[in-house]
Copies of this chain bind each other. A is one copy, B any other.
């Protein structure tokens, strides 16, 4: 193979052209996600357009929330033109499923937090704060009975036992 001696760029230039942090590029090399490029006589990394392509792919996949492992697999799959792309499809759909799961979880939290936030709008004193009470006594849907908040304070991390 002939040496395509043109258009090699340094790490910083690659970082700028792809929008991936320069340190992140080194990290990807370290974990074997991006091939170690040729080096200049003085040890500088010299990246080819192929590296740029690959790095852009990684970035896009990451922006969609795919894990580095998933990205790695996608890149491996991409090598194999004749293979069925069922696995690609499955990876993406599983990821969508994960995201749905996360969204649902967050929406649950959100509901619960708004319920709690409604209990006390910051107007009263800590002693009667029903937000703290709800956190202390979190039997779900409990009527936030008057728990004594200072019961929580007696075991503060700042006052070590041995002291």
| A interface residues, Cβ below 8 angstroms from B | 28-29, 31-39, 48, 50-51, 53-54, 56-57, 60-61, 63-65, 72, 74-90, 92-93, 95-96, 99-100, 102-103, 106-107, 109-110, 112-114, 116-117, 120-129, 131-132, 135-136, 138, 149-162
CB-contact partner of A35 in B83, B84, B126, B155, under 8 A: B155
Number of identical monomers bound together in the oligomeric complex:
2
Q: Select from chain B the residue with minimum beta-carbon distance to A81.
A: B127
CB-contact partner of A99 in B63, B96, B106, under 8 A: B106
**Is A112 touching B64 in the complex (CB atoms < 8 A)?**
yes
Ordered nearest first, which 6 A-B pairs have the shortest CB separation? Answer: A89-B122, A32-B157, A81-B127, A79-B153, A85-B129, A60-B138
15 contacts between A and B (CB under 8 A): A35-B155, A35-B159, A35-B161, A50-B154, A57-B136, A81-B150, A82-B125, A83-B126, A84-B125, A85-B120, A85-B124, A89-B117, A92-B131, A99-B110, A106-B106
Bound state CA distance, A159 and B75, in angstroms?
13
